[in-house]
Amino acid sequence: MSDALTKKAAEPKSIEELPITPVKRTGAGIITLWRSLLVFLGETASLTGRTISEVARGGMAVGDLVRQMALLGADSIWVVLVVTTATGIVFAVYTATLATSIGFSKFVGGTLAFSFLNELGPLLGGVAFAARAGAAIAAEIGTMVVTEQVDALRAMAVSPVRYLVAPRVVACIIMLPLLIVFADVSGLIGSYYAAGANGVAHQDFVDSVLTFVRVSDLTSGLIKAVVFGFIIGIVACQQGLRTTGGATGVGRSTTSSVVLCVLLIFVSDIFLAEMLMAKPGR
């Protein structure tokens, strides 16, 4: 009888009392990841709704918007241009080398232009913009949170969404498509000269672009840029507003902002590519 009572008392009463095993550790990690995902989605959806409401009511100051457009756009343009120009040169070297070896050099210009306008320009520009502008937004707002400046805004009856979030999100939506236009141009210029240096005649390159590229290709890329700009703006602001833990927390929020923005850009690009390529006439 006493042995049975002792055995029963020694048995764990809940899952928390079970010995730590790889299975339990993996399960706990999955639960934590799932909770974090739900929290992120909920906070982002709520912030999106409040931002749209503030913009629709005209509560956003135009001066704040113009200042954010200048800061985010001007500070990011060189990063975007370097990334896209270098990528255009590298892609042209590979494409031109292969094309001249098998005899379809007249398709090089159209292939590269189609790729840049539809995919490479928006994607690479969005990633570069997220690394520069998204990180800056998260760090700035995160610093304001940990130094209690956001609490001071609330104490003065000033909405942080109207004052901090809305101008930055709208600035990202406006500026990223403009940057993508420059990204497309710089990428194609790099491709033009790199292809010429690798056996593709310049006139063949230009004729191929004019033959195979349509205005709808540029439009598709700009639609992607608008979506990517919104993702970068809202996610960076969300990560900044949830900052805790002083300077270390600001660093964590900045890193999380860039990682989440890049992941969401690539994931959303899958669905955008399917929808845009399914347009009538394509």
pLDDT by residue (tens digit) across 208-244?
999 988 998 999 999 999 999 999 999 999 999 988 8
4: pLDDT strictly greater than 60: no
Q: Answer whether residue 4 is part of any domain.
A: no
The whole domain housing 238 covers 23-277
118 contacts: CB under 8 Å, gap ≥ 6: 217, 220, 221, 273, 276
Q: Answer whether residue 5 is part of any domain.
A: no
Confidence of residue 24 (pLDDT cuts 50, 70, 90): low
* Cα torsion angle, 159, 162, 167, 170, sign: positive
Q: What is residue 157's three-state secondary structure?
A: coil
In this structure, are residues 68 and 167 in contact, taking their beta carbons and an 8 Å threshold? yes
- Cα 32 from Cα 216, distance rounded (Å): 43
Q: What are the CA-CA distances from residue 282 to residues 109, 212, 275, 276, 277 (Å)?
A: 19, 12, 11, 9, 6
Q: Answer whether residue 9 is part of any domain.
A: no
pTM for the structure as a whole: 0.85
Q: Answer whether residue 230 is part of any domain.
A: yes
Q: Answer whether residue 7 is part of any domain.
A: no
Averaged over 169-189, what is the pLDDT?
94
> Can you give the pLDDT at residue 247?
83
Averaged over 61-67, what is the pLDDT?
87
Q: Answer whether residue 11 is part of any domain.
A: no
Structural domain count, the chain: 1
